[in-house]
Amino acid sequence: MTKHAMVTLRLHRSAVILMIVLSVVFAILIFVLGWVLASARAPKVALTKPQIAAPKVPQLKAPPAPAVTSTVPRGVIVADKPPQQMLAVRVGMFTAEEDAKALVQRLAAAKIAASILPMPTDDGPTLFLVLVGRYANRRDAASAATWLSREQGVDTAVMPVKQ
């Protein structure tokens, strides 16, 4: 029968410390090498924001002056077309006037002029509509409604209003 002899390896404290330090240095070297290679391959991205012009809210144009004919008595004005119905963008409809006022204040903070139009209903409660702008045609009102919906996050609708 043979006896097995156990072999032991003893390291000095300084050798253990040297192995730990070399392992840490090797790990840092691998990290730095990977970072350099990755940054060399990464596309260069501009860090500044592109300058985008703010969309303009269409403004109401003054209607043309009504035409005067010579067959009409002096001082009477006759329009070529019947008066156009004015349109506005509805950005809110509330049953409580305080909620409507809060939305008007929020829009005022964004420098958007809004007004409140009380609208009685057949069932009794009054609805408070928050309206923005006065527009002569539907195209201008629709573009303003789209802009308000996108910029202010409100549901919009184009509706006729009395002049």
HSE-CB at 62 with a 13 A cutoff on CA atoms is 3
Q: Is residue 63 part of a domain?
A: no
pLDDT in tens, 59-94: 656 666 655 444 545 554 555 555 567 899 999 988
Q: Is residue 99 part of a domain?
A: yes
Domain count within the chain = 1
Measured CA to CA, the distance from residue 41 to residue 46 in angstroms comes to: 16
Domain that holds residue 124: 86-161
> Could you give the C-alpha distances from 12 to 6, 9, 15, 17, in angstroms and in order?
19, 10, 5, 9
pLDDT in tens, 18-53: 999 999 999 999 999 998 888 777 555 555 555 666
Q: Is residue 111 part of a domain?
A: yes
Q: Is residue 7 part of a domain?
A: no
